[in-house]
Amino acid sequence: MSLENTSVNKSYGGWTKHYSHHSEVLNCDMRFAIYLPPQTANGQKVPVVYFLSGLTCTDENFIQKAGAQRMAAELGIAIVAPDTSPRGDDVADDEAYDLGKGAGFYVNATQAPWNRHYQMYDYVMNELPQLVEATFPVTDHRSIFGHSMGGHGALVMALRHPDRFKSVSAFSPIGNPVDCPWGQKAFTAYLGEDRSTWAEYDASLLMRKASGAVPALVDQGEADNFLAEQLKPETLEAAAKASGYPLELNRREGYDHSYYFIASFIDDHLRFHAKHLSA
């Protein structure tokens, strides 16, 4: 699979790069960002953390706003940030911000017209890691984290595939999408009216019955405008309590849903992942 390097910026001794490539899974051209820490300059392979962004975001938001490069350079870990949905003129879309482009929800769509392109689950789980590991100096030790819609995606992937990830974390995740407006709208469009198919993409439902455990860290701002209606962290807490899942959930007074919140605690999350990636 051919990659086109579209930008390069040196940062904390390493390199922040953007690439485009054709995705067979998504049937369109895609972009992703990668930060390669200075340890890779001599060919040393490093573990990699995947970051999944939230609604309306692209591959650029996290890599530009989170301030993750300094700690990633210190810890010697790579970061990969994919886009949030398929892109292109022939890709199905919706006028609303919470459906279509920028709102892929990290599921494999089964309903037309979305199923032609919206296979973000398989893209993030399989196609992108295969490409990254074949191209860049990274090991097959992976962790995953995300924000909001991306926090939902990260938790779901780690819960469904505990053998694939060393750790998982999330900022302000959509914890119970089957029971919130964002999730219900997206799942109805992408997955159809049969709600039994939605459960495999709901972190709270998956955590409640989890058999394998990936260490999990969640940070939630108490001043988040979406807290009560959309995010519902209490459902994750209840699920973890019911199953004994190793979840650490921190409620952060005064913090909202923005990248100011993410940047404030990004070092904690990267240290958390580095600890488990090196174990």
N- to C-terminal Cα distance for the chain? Answer: 32
Cα(28)–Cα(91) distance, integer angstroms: 8
Residue 225 CB: number of other CB atoms within 10 A? 12
87 contacts 30 by C-beta, under 8 angstroms:
yes
Cα(50)–Cα(179) distance, integer angstroms: 26
Cα(23)–Cα(36) distance, integer angstroms: 22
Spatial strand order of the sheet with 247-252 comes to 3-11, 14-23, 28-36, 78-82, 46-52, 138-147, 168-171, 216-221, 247-252
What is the token pair recorded at 27?
């049937």
Q: Phi/psi zone of residue 43: left (φ > 0), alpha (ψ -120 to 50 degrees), beta?
A: left
- Residues designated as active site: 148, 224, 257
Across 249-265, b (16+ Cβ under 10 Å) vs e yields beebeebbbebebbebb
